[in-house]
Amino acid sequence: MSDQNVHNAGFTSSGIRGGSLASSMMSQEARASGGGVHSGGPTSTLQEMGARGSTHSSGFTSSGISGGSLASHMMSQEARSHGGGTPRGGTTSTVQSI
């Protein structure tokens, strides 16, 4: 995943850019969870990367998730909490797609 993709989606060092994919994701996630965005969810994970200005070493790559990385750990945790699979629209799949 490139830093530019995260920035282009609206996750920036100064926060989520209004009218962006990021703001749409944040709005949808907040509505689905009753008004808030959960720590560790897709929006907060991507915003953390955008605020740092770097996605390097996260393990989300154009050829898939790197073994032994933060991304593989996230995918494993998410799969365990969903009975063995990572759900479409979940943190791992959303971050990997961007």
Give the pTM.
Answer: 0.68
In angstroms, rounded to a whole number, what is the distance separating the alpha carbons of residues 76 and 21? 26
pLDDT tens digits, one per residue of 24-33? 989 988 888 8
In angstroms, rounded to a whole number, what is the distance separating the alpha carbons of residues 20 and 46? 13
Q: What's the whole-number mean pLDDT along residues 21-25?
A: 90
Residue 56 is predicted with a pLDDT of 67
> Is the pLDDT reported for residue 1 higher than 60?
no
State the pLDDT confidence band at 82, using cuts at 50, 70 and 90. confident
